[in-house]
Amino acid sequence: MNNRLAVSLIAAALLAPGAAFAQSTTAQGAAEGAARGGEAAGPVGAIVGGTVGAAVGAAVEIPNAVITSIPRDRSVVVREEVVVGQPLPPTVALRTVPRHTEYRYAVVNDRRVIVEPRTRRVVRILD
């Protein structure tokens, strides 16, 4: 088996569980990390990105009560792509999640995102 095929199979194996857990931050982090890594460095980048993205997502599982509490507020438009694990630009105002004050969110480019308040890193994209 050539190396390229092996790398592709490994990447597929890493991403397959994501289909079953589409609402999971772990799966979302893996899928988005693999996509970004693949864009940057091909199949090997996809494997590394998927692994790192899954680790970031696993570290921050968001309770469903928090997710359902986030309103669909007015959206802010930014040029930067909104990606799990990357910080939002400083121009985006973070709001406190109603009844869950330890979480922050923003609505950016018509997508609700949950943000780690200290670092402004996106931990989950809802829409």
Q: What pLDDT, on the 0 to 100 scale, is given for residue 19? A: 36
Q: What pLDDT, on the 0 to 100 scale, is given for residue 83? A: 94
pLDDT digits (tens, 9 = 90+) for 71-110: 888 999 999 999 999 999 999 999 999 888 889 999 999 9
Q: Is 6's pLDDT higher than 60?
A: no
Beta strands in the chain, from DSSP E residues, in sequence order: 95-97, 100-108, 111-115, 122-125
Q: What pLDDT, on the 0 to 100 scale, is given for residue 2? A: 54
pLDDT band at 60, cuts 50/70/90? low
Instruction: Give the residue, 29 or 6, on which the prediction is more confident.
Output: 29
Tell me the average pLDDT of the chain: 76
Residues sharing a CB contact under 8 Å with residue 59, sequence separation 6 or more, in sequence order? none
Q: Is 125's pLDDT higher than 90?
A: yes
Number of neighbouring beta carbons within 10 Å of residue 41: 13
pLDDT digits (tens, 9 = 90+) for 25-46: 566 666 777 677 777 777 776 6
